[in-house]
Structure 1
C-alpha cells in the first residue's frame, strides 16, 4: 500500500481515518490543507484522481473511499470504509465483544422496525439490554448505564444518528460500510431508492402498498421538480410526499421495539403488503405506549 503513496496520500489518509465520514466539501478542504502542507499544487479537478489512486493502493488492505449523498440533505459525502462487508467485524475496532453484540442487536431492531421506521427510541434501546444474546444463544450482560455511554459512543463514532426526539438511526457511515452485510442479512427489509439505487432508510414511499417505489427526499425533489402532477415513477399513481420511510427529526419512535411482520410477495409489484400500513407514518409511530408488540 505505502510503496505507491506520496506524503500527500499518507497525510490525507491519516486525516480521513480519524474522520471516517465527511461531506465532499469538507474532503476538498482537507485535500487543500494537505496540499499546502506538502507543498503540492492544489487543483480541485484532481481530487477524483486522488481518490482513485488511493483506492487502488488501499484495495489490498480492504479499505476504500466510497461516495454517496446524505440521505437527508442530499449533500455529497465520502467515507473511508472497510470493504469486508460479509461481517460487522470492521465495527469491532475499539469495541468489546459485548459492545459489538449490542451494536448488532440495535442494527437489527432498526432495520426490522415496524412500518419502515428504520429507527429505535432511546427508551427502547436501553430496554433491549436485557434481550441481547451471543450467536450461541448465551445472554449478554450490559447495564443500562453502560448502554447509555455506548450509545453516545456509537453516535460519536458516526455509526448512528440521534434525532431531536431521541431516536437512533443508521448513519451514512453505517449504510456505506455495512451495505453488503445489511443487504445479505436483511434482504427482505432493506430497500433501495428507485432512482439512485442506494439503500434508503429515510425518504418517501408510494401510497400503493404493493408498489416497490421508494425515494430519498432529495431524489424526489429532483425527479418531481418539473411535474405539475406528481406520479409514482413505478406504478404511475398520484404521489404523496407525506408517506414516509423513517421518522422526521421531531417525531418520537415507539418506546418499545415493534418489528414488522414478514412481507408477503406480490407477483405484480414484487413488494409486500405490510400489516398496519399507515398513511402518515409519523402518526402511527406516535402511539408509543398504547401499541407495542414486544419482540
Structure 2
C-alpha cells in the first residue's frame, strides 16, 4: 500500500479529510484490508462505519456512499467496483487498481514464476468450454514455463495461496476464476482474449460458467444465475435471442448466506 493510499485511509491528508467523513475512511481502510466483500457484508460494514461515527446511514444509499469514496480515489487510479458472482449471482464490491490492468497488480505478492503460472491458469480457464481447469492440467502447464519451473509441491502451495487470496476458486480439484479476479481482471481479459471471451446475453459482463443456446446460428451464453432469474416462472423457456426452446435445466435462484464483515 502506498503512502498516498494510507493517507486516504487514515485521514492524514487534510484535503481528503475535509471531503470524506471518518465513516468513509473506515469503510475504505477495511476494503484495503480485505479486498472484496459481498453485498451483505458491504451493507453490514456500511452500517457499522456509520454507527461507529454517529452518522446516519440510509439503507438504500450504499452506492452513493461508495461513489463519494470513489470520487476521491479517482486521482489515485483506484475504485471500489461492483460485480457479480458467477456461482450464485450475488453482488460483490472489490477495491480495484485501475492503473494496472493485468497481473502486474499482483507482483508485490507473487514471484515472477508464480505470476507466469497464474497467467497460464488464466489462459486455460478462458480457453475451456465450461470455465474450469483441473489441477492436473495446471501442473502439466509448468513444463512450458519460461521462468524458473515450479516443483509439484510449490505449484500446489501456490494454488492454495491463490484460493486463499481470492484470485481462484477450487472445488474437488477444479479451479475457476473468483469473483474478485473477474472484477479486477475484466479489462485485461477482454483485451488479451477478445477472440475467446464471451459476454452474458443478459447482464453483458464476461462469462465463463454458463449455459449456451444450442442453436448453432445463435449460441448465446448466459450466466447460470442470470438463467435462473430470466426464466423464473416461464412455462416454456425460450432463448431470449433466437426464440428457440431452451433445453437446459433451469437452476434455482440461490439465496447466498448472509455474511457480515467488520
Q: TM-score range by the shorter chain?
A: 0.7 to 0.9
- 1:178 aligned counterpart, secondary structure: helix
1:132-211 to structure 2, matched below 5 A, reads 132-133=145-146, 139-163=147-171, 165-211=172-218
Contact in 2 for aligned 1:206/1:243 (Cα 8 Å): no
Gap regions ≥5 residues in structure 2? 1-7, 252-262
SS in 1 for 2:88: coil
CA separation of 1:86 and 1:224: change in aligned 2, threshold 3 A:
same
Residue in structure 2 matched with residue 110 of structure 1 by the alignment: 125
Cα distance, 1:223 vs structure 2: 1.6
TM-score of the two chains, using structure 1 as the length reference: 0.75
Aligned-partner Cα distance in 2 for 1:16–1:172:
15
**Matched position secondary structure for 2:217:** coil
Contact 1:55 1:64 in 2 (8 A): yes
Q: How many residues align?
A: 236
Query: Aligned-pair distance for 1:234?
Result: 1.2
8 Å Cα contact 2:231/2:250 also seen in 1: no
Alignment partner of 1:215 is 2:222: yes
Range 51-60 or range 235-244, more displaced: 235-244
Please list the CA deviations of residues 41-76 of structure 1 after superposition, one character each: whole Å capped at 9, or x if unmatched.
332223221110111111111211111222121112
Any conservation in 2 of the 1:24–1:78 contact (CA below 8 Å)? Answer: yes
In the aligned structure 2, how far is the partner of 1:88 from the partner of 1:81? 12
The answer as to 2:79 corresponding to 1:64 is: yes
What displacement does 1:242 show?
4.9
Tell me how far apart the structure 2 counterparts of residues 81 and 51 of structure 1 sit (CA, whole Å).
Answer: 13
Within the alignment, does 1:46 sit opposite 2:61 as a pair?
yes
Residue aligning to 1:236: 243
Larger helix share, 1 or 2:
2
Contact 1:21 1:78 in 2 (8 A): yes
Distance 1:127 1:243 in 2: 35
Q: Give the distance between the partners of 1:85 and 1:118, measured in 2 at CA.
A: 24
Alignment correspondent of 1:257: none
Unaligned runs of 5+ in 1: 134-138, 245-295
Q: Which moved more, 1:81-90 or 1:104-113?
A: 81-90
Q: Deviations over 1:213-232 (max 9, x none)?
A: 11112211222223221111
Q: 1:69-125 CA distances to partner (integer Å, 9 max, x unpaired)?
A: 221211121111122354221122311112111111111111112xx2222111221
3-state SS of 2:169 partner: strand
TM-score for the superposition, normalised by structure 2:
0.84
Cα deviation 1:171-228 (Å, max 9, x = unaligned)? 1111110001001100111111101101111121101233241111221122222322
Residues 83 and 91 in structure 2, CA contact (< 8 A), matched pair in contact too: yes
**Equivalents in 2 of 1:147, 1:119: separation in Å?**
17
Q: Distance in 2 between matches of 1:45 and 1:235?
A: 37
What is the CA–CA distance in structure 2 between the aligned matches of 1:218 and 1:141, rounded to whole Å? 38
